[in-house]
Structure 1
Amino acid sequence: MDGNYLDSATLDNTKALEDQIFYPPRRHLCPERTNTMFSLDRSGLFCIETSCNRNRRGAQMKPCGIITLLTDFGLEDGYVGIVKGVILGINPSARIVDISHLIPHGSILDAALVLQEAWHFFPEGTVHLAIVDPGVGTSRIPLALETSNHCFVGPDNGLFRPIIDQYPSSKIVHLNKSQYFLPEISNTFHGRDIFAPVAAHLSSGIALHLLGSPVSDPVS
């Protein structure tokens, strides 16, 4: 398997996924679904109770102004600060919450687990920016998805696979509308040049469908 991608078979068979149960907080769940318990184990991600149907009706997420940030950048240089600066340059009122910047470098699996454990604890309307991107500069595409009244932005490398498996009706787009990027795109820092600007625009109320073309078969 290409080390730049995480497929569903890896998720199913990885020991790290066994016997981990997360309980999303009731106060932040969509009012159209009951409290949901789900499990990550050898059989993969599954929902025990019903999931939200709001996105199936095509309703646009109303942003709450929060952007979470998950990366493997570490804390010894300025990369995290640069990403935050790009976000605030587009949406000065954004509230940025750090989930972690200590993901092992390039570990898509660790990032997927941390994101899956954390995102449910944020209010509806949150934009989740995840940048663990060992395939930056390759043919992997940048994407954004909306589901359960949350948005997610990052590379199409398996990072969002647990979320897409849980919510198969997620709206997913290939980020290809360059007017929502920085003017110059580096081959090595899409987190700064593509993902951070897109997250900022989503948090400002730009609709997902304006950011790119629909995707039906993501790696994520």
Structure 2
Amino acid sequence: MSIITLTTDFGTKDHFVGAVKGAIYTELPEAKIVDITHEISPFNITETAYIIKNSYKSFPKGTVHIVGVDSELSEENKHIALELDGHFFVCPDNGLISMIAAEIKPAKIVEINIHDRIESSFPVLDVFVQVACFIGRGGNLTVIGKEITDYKKITEIQPKVNQTENQIVGGVIYIDNYGNAISNISEKMFADVGKGRDFKIISKKHEFTKIFSKYNEIASNSGYSNQQFEGQKLALFNSASYLEIAIYRSNSDTVGGANSLLGLEYRDIIVINFIDTPKSEYTTLN
């Protein structure tokens, strides 16, 4: 049985997702289709990269991942299929693979060439499905495209390290369902650059000098009900090990999230300044 995942910005109101699933079952009736999400913000490559990076590893090796975001074919936006970390990805070459491939080098990348016989305004349906099902049946990547050695990279996915200023400059790459602002600064980068020093996180007018290991740690050992801390801001490394600015027990209908209460939005800058005085222990609470 082949597992094929779908990640798109199609939403669920229109016919697109249903049509893609129907085409997969027509080509490969034994396939198991899993929806990662269809609620990507339209054409948001950075958001797509974050979600794919933090979901694909939970699937078995050999899973085929169809990614349909900003997928219209053009000279600047070609279609590729690649093998990476034992998984296969069928997607546009628009930079979304940057976040995954920054840590793990693809074993093989091909530029899909079946467009010669398929003219389509809906490539996820007409092209990506055929390629994914071919791979799902055990097909070799080189049959559906010419091998290439590189892929498009988007620089905003990667934070910058300024050693002279002792700082990391990153940004918000994703606002989650709770309104939490997730940055592109990883816990590993924080530890490698910070080396246990004191720090100050700055985003807009908000500052943080402590990083929690989980949300409810802000209320631990306080002697008060957790509800007393609802609406308080905090910084933590989330389950994906990225720095997140959050509102404790955030809810868009009541308390609000970091996006509404703190005014944090996609692409807002987040800076971590490190202080040279070394500390005896790691600043993050563990």
Q: TM-score range by the shorter chain?
A: 0.5 to 0.7
Counterpart pick for 1:111 among 48, 51, 57: 48
User: CA 1:217–1:98 in 2, change beyond 3 Å: closer, same or farther?
Assistant: same
Matched, 1:194 2:127: yes
How far does residue 204 in structure 1 lie from its aligned partner after superposition?
1.2
User: Mean alpha-carbon deviation: is it higher for 114-123 or for 209-218?
Assistant: 209-218
Q: Secondary structure at the match of 1:168?
A: coil
Give a deviation string over 1:107-129, Cα, whole Å, max 9, x none. 01111100001000001110011
Asked if the contact 1:143–1:153 (Cα under 8 Å) also holds between the matched residues in 2, the reply is: yes
* Aligned-pair Cα RMSD in Å: 1.6
User: What is the one-letter code of the residue matched to 1:67?
Assistant: I
Instruction: Verify the 8 A CA contact 1:88 1:200 in the aligned structure 2.
Output: no
Structure 2, unmatched stretches of 5+, are 154-286
- Cα distance change of structure 1 residues 77 and 97 upon mapping to structure 2, 3 Å threshold: same
Q: Is the 8 A contact 1:185 1:194 kept in 2?
A: no
Instruction: Tell me the residue number matched to 1:78.
Output: 15
Sequence identity, in percent? Answer: 39
Q: How does 1:52-201 map to 2 (within 5 A)?
A: 65-133=2-70, 136-139=72-75, 140-178=77-115, 184-186=118-120, 188-201=121-134
Deviation string 1:39-79 (CA, Å, 9 cap, x unpaired) is xxxxxxxxxxxxxxxxxxxxxxxxx5100100000000110
Letter of the structure 1 residue corresponding to residue 128 of structure 2: F
Show the counterpart of 1:11. none
Contact 2:36 2:55 in 1 (8 A): yes
Counterpart check, 1:208 vs 2:164: no
Larger Rg: 2
Matches of 1:122 and 1:213, distance apart in 2: 27
Q: Which has the higher helix share?
A: 1
- Alpha-carbon distance in structure 1 between the residues aligned to 2:20 and 2:8: 10
Question: What amino acid maps onto 2:100 in structure 1?
Answer: I
Structure 1, 201-210 or 163-172: larger mean CA deviation: 163-172
Aligned partners of 1:156, 1:171: CA distance in 2, in Å? 14
Contact 2:114-2:127 at 8 Å conserved across structures: no
Distance of 1:93 and 1:158 partners within structure 2? 31
More strand by share: 2
Give the match's secondary structure for 2:88: strand
Equivalent in the alignment of 2:152: 219
TM-score between the two structures when normalised by the length of structure 2: 0.51
List structure 1 runs of 4+ shifted beyond 6 angstroms: none
Distance in 2 of aligned mates of 1:169 and 1:89: 29
Q: Residues 71, 207 of structure 1: CA spacing in aligned structure 2 closer, same or farther, 3 A cutoff?
A: same
Report the count of equivalent residues. 152
Paired residues of 2:82 and 2:106 also in contact (CA < 8 A): no
CA–CA separation in structure 2 for the residues paired with 1:75 and 1:206: 31
Secondary structure in structure 1 of the residue aligned to 2:54? helix
| CA deviation string 1:82-110 (max 9, x = no partner) | 11111111111000000000000110111
Give yes or no for contact 2:91–2:128 (8 Å, CA) kept in 1.
yes
Matched residue SS, 1:93: coil
Q: TM-score, normalised by structure 1?
A: 0.65
